[in-house]
Amino acid sequence: MDSSELYHVKQQFILGAYKTLVDLSLPDPNSPDHTPTLLYQARAHIALNNPKAAIALLPDGSSNVAVKAAASLARYVAATDAASKDSQLEDLRDLAVEIEGEDADGSEKDRALVRVLAGTAFARAGEVEEALETLGGATEDLEAVSVIVQIYLSINRPDLARKEFDRAKKWAEDDLLLQLIESTIGLVSGKDGYSNCNSFYTEQIGNPSLSSPHLLTARGVTRILRNEFPEAKSDLEESMEQQKGDAETLAAYVVASGLAAPKKPEVDELWNRLVSEHPEHPLVVDVASKAQLFDECAAKFEVPPTAAARA
């Protein structure tokens, strides 16, 4: 059983309150909570796309496999060239193999975390099979389940995600993370008009023990999916105020504005802002590729000369 501090840290991490988590002061190094908190903080840094801070935070030469894995993931996220990315992946692979042995280092928890971190890295690298393999088919680690579910969803297998979730439901009781997983599946499958996701996020926004703009963004996105565009905009605006420069929120805001009033010029302004500030965001990348596709497709149609009176 986790201590209440650690539980709180975990909750913040799961619900995406990374900013708050990063600003937390670490407990005493001798406390059993030290390393887990450290790890969550490091992962929060990574999630905020600030892997350098994570690397700085994590002690060098730790013998803890989870710390090693977190460091590898941080370096992997930080890496810019393919070679160093590969080397970090290789490290994670080694770690994943290392923990498989019966006399491997680290507690069961640490090993589970190694799998999650390695799986995350593999999924980022697009190695879906390897990620799933690393996470294991019969895991009883909810974090692993959440990663597995998202991977399934990303490859359009909501059926498998649902199965994985149903399986987890049997042993995970009503864990917060489990609810999050369920709502994630709901966002993709759209059962019951997204009402479950909507109420989950609304409930967590009302959670007094934390505040996370990520939740506002998530509800904003849910509301977009529910075709409630003005409401979505207001959620997203609020979220943007709390975390300036969050790509996800801005991207969702573009979509919400576009659907609320398609012809307004500010939509294009927002879009240009997103493109210039976050050129890496998948929406930007995707739309850019679609623009290219458009040109290719349009070129296949021969445009006859415009009819002219004196032609």
Partner 1 sequence: MSVMLTKFESKSNRVKGLAFHPTQPLLAAALHNGSVQLWNYRMGVLVDRFEEHEGPVRGVAIHPSRALLVTGGDDYKIKVWDIRPQNRRCLFTLHGHLDYVRTVQFHHEMPWILSTSDDQTIRIWNSTSRNCIAILTGHSHYVMSAQFHPKDDLIVSASMDQTVRVWDISGLRKNTPNQGGPGGNPGNGPGNFETFDNFSTVKYVLEGHDRGVNFAVFHPTLPLIISAADDRQIKIWRMSETKAWEVDSCRGHFNNVSSALFHPKHELIVSCGEDKTVRVWDLAKRTAIQTFRREHDRFWVLAAHPQLNLFAAGHDSGLIVFKLERERPAFAVHQDSLYYIRDKYVRAYDFNSGSDIGLLSVRKFGSPYVPPRTLSYNPAERAVLSTISSDGGIFELSTLPQGQQGDVKDSSADGKKGTGQSAIFVARNRFAVLNKATQLIEVRDLSNSVVKTIKPPVQTNEIFYGGTASLILSSTTTVVLYDIQQQKTIAEVNSPPVKYVVWNSDSSLVALMSKHTITIANRTFSQHSLIHETIRIKSGAWDDAGVFIYSTLNHIKYCLNQGDHGVICTLDNPVYLTRVKGKTVHCLDRSARPRTITFDPTEYRFKLALLRNNYEEMLYIIKTSTLLGQSIIGYLQQKGFPEIALHFVQDTNTRFELAIECGNLDVAMEMAKTIDRPECWERLAQQALKQGNHKIVEKAYQQTKNFDKLSFLYLATGSTDKLSKMQKIADARGDPMSRFHNALYAGDVHGRIAVLRDVGLHPLAYLTAKTNGLDDLALEILQAAGLTEADIDDVPTFGASSLKPPPVVTPTTDLNWPAVAGPENFWDRALASGALEGGVESPYANGDAGGVAASSALDAWAKEEEEIPDDLDPEEGGWELDADGGDFQSAADEEEAVPEDEELGAGASPGVSEVEHWTRNSPLAADHVAAGAFESAMQLLNRQLGIVNFNVLKPIFISIYRSSHTYLSPVASLPPLHLHVRRDITESAPSRVLPVAARTLQSVRSELAEGYRFVSGNKLAEAQQSFRSVLQSLLLVVLSSDDEAKLWRDTVTAAREYLLGVTIELERRRVAEQEPDNVARNLELAAYFTHCQLQPPHMQIALRSAIGVYAKANNQAHAARFAKRLLELKPDPKIVAQARQRIAAGDRNPRNAVEVAYDEFTPFEICGVTFTPIYRGSPAVHCPYTDASYHPQFKGSLDPLTQLTEIGATASGMPAPWSDGR
Q: Give the integer Cα–Cα distance in Å for 9 and 123.
A: 25
Interface residues for partner 1 in 101-130 (CB under 8 A)?
Answer: 101-104, 120, 123-124, 128-130
Q: Is the dihedral of CA 52, 58, 61, 63 positive or negative?
A: negative
Closest CA to 145 of 123, 165, 130, 175: 165
**Using the rule CB under 8 A, is 141 a contact of partner 1?**
no
**Using the rule CB under 8 A, is 303 a contact of partner 1?**
yes
**Using the rule CB under 8 A, is 142 a contact of partner 1?**
no
Question: What distance, in Å, lies between the first and last C-alpha atoms of the chain?
Answer: 85
**Please, what is the minimum distance in Å from the beta carbon of residue 288 to partner 1?**
10
Q: Which stretch binds partner 1 (CB under 8 A): 31-39, 81-89, 202-210, 299-307?
A: 299-307
3 state DSSP class of 206: coil
Among 147, 178, 216, 240, binds partner 1 (CB under 8 A): 147
Interface residues for partner 1 in 36-75 (CB under 8 A)?
Answer: 43-44, 46-47, 73
Of 112 and 283, which CB lies nearer to partner 1 in the complex structure? Answer: 283
Where is 234: in which H helix or E strand?
Answer: helix 229-242
3 state DSSP class of 99: coil
**Using the rule CB under 8 A, is 9 a contact of partner 1?**
no
Q: How far is CA 238 from the centre of its chain?
A: 20
**Please, what is the minimum distance in Å from the beta carbon of residue 87 to partner 1?**
19
**Using the rule CB under 8 A, is 155 a contact of partner 1?**
yes
**Using the rule CB under 8 A, is 13 a contact of partner 1?**
yes
**Using the rule CB under 8 A, is 286 a contact of partner 1?**
yes
Q: How far is CA 99 from the centre of its chain?
A: 25
Q: Give the integer Cα–Cα distance in Å for 132 and 151.
A: 8
**Please, what is the minimum distance in Å from the beta carbon of residue 46 to partner 1?**
5
**Using the rule CB under 8 A, is 133 a contact of partner 1?**
yes
Asked if 106 and 90 touch (Cβ cutoff 8 Å), the reply is no
